[in-house]
């Protein structure tokens, strides 16, 4: 697993965000149809699929709300 994915999994776990899962997908993922992507992610339906962009605040200070946005 990529380093950032592992950092995120640890961060979510520390925050008790138990319903979050980080899955690294292969190149060409977005060129595939929704049914293929649903199956790749083991999602119950296409309605569960969403795009997310998570950025790490590299200048994070404890008084900030979150290290990731």
With beta carbons less than 8 A apart as the criterion, state whether 40 and 48 touch.
no
| Domain ranges within the chain, ordered by starting residue | 1-69
Nearest to 32 by CA among 56, 44, 49, 7: 49
Which pLDDT band, with edges at 50, 70 and 90, does 2 fall under?
low
Using one digit for the tens of pLDDT, what is the confidence trace for 26-66? 899 999 999 999 999 998 888 888 777 777 888 888 777 77
Nearest to 38 by CA among 27, 30, 50, 46: 46
DSSP 47: G
What separation in angstroms does the CA of 53 have from each of 3, 50, 69? 16, 10, 8
Which pLDDT band, with edges at 50, 70 and 90, does 69 fall under?
confident
């Amino acid at each position: 697993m990529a380093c950032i994915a592992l950092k995120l999994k640890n961060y979510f776990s520390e925050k008790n965000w138990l319903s979050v899962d980080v899955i690294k997908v292969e190149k060409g993922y977005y060129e595939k149809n929704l049914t293929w992507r649903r199956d790749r992610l083991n999602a119950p339906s296409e309605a569960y699929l969403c795009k997310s962009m998570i950025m790490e605040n590299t200048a994070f200070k404890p008084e900030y709300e979150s290290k990731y946005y």
